């Protein structure tokens, strides 16, 4: 079985198919010892090199997706041996590498999904799929109904209008308020920026759902579990 070179590169998580085409056109990609061309197809036994570095390809039909409960203090960046990252606690793969389906900032906890298929990972989190992202947040202060209406109507931030699609108030103390909220925006720190835009600080933030996948109450911080076939099908069945 052969696949297009661009897809094979994307599946490793190295880059998107479009970027892969650019790399091929620039002459930076080799198949075994031959310079690659647009339109090339490769088999499982072929090796891919970009700028002289070999890409590690996942074995066919071995797509894996896992859910990880991220603690605070871990960065969503590739490991470099210096800082603590979300990849440190993940299981080792025989081939390929884990690709994160989106990110959480260093102070946010909760649900992260990882996949060993870069092309599929990009498909799942593509904006066209309109995935819900559900969070629990502790807010300093007591927002009014007028404040909450602004968050649901939409606020212009960094040139984009973003909003919560659902917002439910939970318990309240003398100094803090708890909320459950849903947002479809996947940009960096979108939840915190929305609250900051109306003058409130998020003191604690946890993601509990991404699309149809929920964070299990049994999964402790720093632990992971694999999605089963039914869960993977539920996550991928409506991909664009």
Q: In the block, which residue shows the tokens 């605070």?
A: 72
Count the Cβ atoms, other than its own, within 10 Å of residue 211. Answer: 19
> Which residues are registered as beta bridge partners of 177?
139, 172
Choosing from 40, 51, 105, 228, the catalytic residue is 105
> Which residues are registered as beta bridge partners of 54?
49
What is the rounded distance in angstroms from the CA atom of residue 15 to the CA atom of residue 9? 7
Count the Cβ atoms, other than its own, within 10 Å of residue 97. Answer: 18
Give the pairing type, strands 41-42 and 34-35: unpaired
147 catalytically annotated: no
- DSSP-assigned letters across all residues of 45-112: T--EEETTEEPPPPPTT---EEEEEEPTT-BSS---SSS-BTTTTSPPPSSS--EESS---TT-EEEE
- Is the Cβ–Cβ distance between 112 and 100 less than 8 Å? yes
Q: Which residues are catalytic?
A: 105
């Amino acid at each position: 079985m052969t696949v297009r070179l661009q897809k094979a590169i994307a599946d490793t998580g190295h880059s998107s198919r479009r970027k892969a085409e650019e790399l091929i056109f620039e002459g930076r990609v080799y198949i075994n010892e031959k310079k690659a061309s647009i339109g090339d197809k490769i088999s499982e036994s072929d090796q891919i090199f970009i700028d002289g570095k070999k890409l590690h390809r996942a074995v066919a039909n071995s797509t894996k997706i896992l859910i990880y409960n991220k603690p605070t203090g871990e960065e969503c960046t590739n490991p470099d041996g210096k800082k603590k990252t979300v990849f440190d606690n993940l299981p080792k793969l025989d081939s390929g590498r884990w690709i994160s389906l989106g990110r959480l900032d260093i102070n946010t906890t909760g649900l992260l999904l990882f996949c060993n298929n870069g092309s599929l990972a990009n498909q799942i989190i593509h904006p066209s799929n309109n995935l819900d992202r559900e969070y629990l947040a502790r807010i300093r202060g007591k927002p009014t109904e007028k404040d909450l209406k602004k968050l649901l109507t939409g606020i212009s931030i960094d040139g984009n209008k973003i909003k919560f699609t659902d917002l439910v108030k939970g318990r309240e103390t003398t100094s803090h308020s708890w909320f459950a909220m849903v947002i479809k925006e996947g940009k960096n720190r979108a939840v915190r920026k929305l609250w900051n835009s109306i003058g409130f600080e998020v003191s604690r933030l946890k993601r509990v759902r991404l699309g149809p996948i929920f964070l299990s109450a049994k999964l402790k911080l720093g632990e992971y579990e694999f999605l089963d076939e039914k869960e993977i099908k539920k996550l991928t069945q409506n991909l664009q």
